[in-house]
Amino acid sequence: MLISVTGIPNSPRSIAQTGRTSQASKGEHGFSLLELLVVIVIIAILFTFTTLAIRGTSPEELLETEAQRLDQLLQLALEEAILRGMEYGLEFTPNSYRFLLYIENTWQPLESDRLLRERQLPENMEFELEIEQIDVLIGETESKEDDDDKTQRRPQVFLLSSGEITPEFSVRLVLPGVAISYLVTANANGEHEAEKSDN
């Protein structure tokens, strides 16, 4: 093999192999676009939580805060479902919600996940759930179950690795005596939003 005075091999084969090695090492250290998007979503959620925490706490602002939080967490869970190729679920109770992950034929709560952990609504705030435009009474079956069975419950909404949300749903956040409410809606294409609504 020919070696130049600089100590760099002059053989075309050696140069080609060196180029391939450097290209392979470059590919091993990069991030995919989807991974970067998930990081951006997480940063946006943390920023939103911080901003909302600084604002006042009137009843209307509390409703807006919780609706925006649910909408942002829904986006994060959907992004993670796509990125990880796993199925997520969303379970509502009258005054809380939590995300679940489908592992080994069971729905497991994400208790150790700082963002997707179970969330309690502020005092007196409640959900009103509609699935495919049909009112759903939440809380009746849950109250009959033991805490040991709580981890085995099935979510009302599924966030699929294909990016779909099924079934379509809307959940209204309400406070007694407050004229307005906030509505979080999601369709089968994975599109969702939080918006102000009249009661």
Residue 20 lies in a domain: no
Q: With 80 as the cut, is the pLDDT of residue 78 above it?
A: yes
3-class SS of residue 96 = strand
The answer as to whether 76 is a domain residue is yes
Domain-located, residue 17: no
pLDDT of residue 122 exceeding 90 = yes
Domain that holds residue 135: 31-198
Count up the domains in the chain and report the number: 1
- What three-state secondary structure class fits 73? helix
Question: Is the pTM here over 0.75, yes or no?
Answer: no
Which pLDDT score is estimated for 55? Answer: 52
Residue 123 makes CB contacts below 8 A (sequence gap 6+) with none
- Where b means 16+ CB within 10 Å and e means fewer, 73-111 reads bbbbbbbbbbeeeebbbbbbbbbebbbbbbeeeebebbe
Residue 130 lies in a domain: yes
Contact between 7 and 1 (Cβ < 8 Å): no
Q: Is 2 among the domain residues?
A: no
Share the mean pLDDT of the chain. 82
Q: What is the pLDDT of residue 141?
A: 46
Residue 51 lies in a domain: yes
Residue 10 lies in a domain: no
CATH number of the domain at 163, please: 3.55.40.10
In the predicted structure, residue 174 carries a pLDDT above the cut 70: yes
C-beta separation of 174 from 54 below 8 A = no
State the Cα–Cα distance between residues 145 and 131, nearest whole angstrom.
22
Structural domain contains residue 65: yes
Q: Mind listing the pLDDT tens digit for each residue in 86-113? A: 999 999 999 999 999 999 999 999 989 9
DSSP 114-141: TTTS-EEPPTT-EEEEEETTEEE--STT
Mean pLDDT across the stretch 62-72? Answer: 96
